[in-house]
Amino acid sequence: MPIGRTVELVVSRNDDRWTVMCDGTVRGNYDYKIDAEEAAIRLAKQAHAKGQSSGVVSPDHRSRMRCIWPN
C-alpha cells in the first residue's frame, strides 16, 4: 500500500463474491460482505498503525457507498 497518502479500501460486489480493492489492486475476494468488510478494516488498521491515513467504504443496502471505518 502506498506510503504518505490516504489508503482507501473499497468493498464491492463482483458477481457472486465480495472484493476488497486498494488503488486498483484486488486485496481479497470473499463469499460474504461482512468477511470482506472485516478484512478491509484489518488492512486499514494495519496502514493506520504504520502512520498512514486510511479508510474503508462499502455499499449500503441501497448500493450507496458509505464510510464504515473509521466511523
pTM exceeds 0.85 for this model: yes
The whole-number average pLDDT for the span 41-57 is 95
Residue 2 has pLDDT above 60, yes or no: no
Segment 3-24 shows an average pLDDT of 91
For the chain, the straight-line distance linking the first and the last C-alpha, in angstroms and rounded, comes to 21
State the pLDDT at residue 71: 72
Those residues with Cβ within 8 angstroms of residue 31's Cβ, 6 or more apart along the chain or in another chain: 17, 18
Cβ-based neighbour number of residue 40 at 10 Å: 29
The one-letter amino acid at 26:
V
Mean pLDDT of 12-31: 96
Which amino acid is it at 16? D
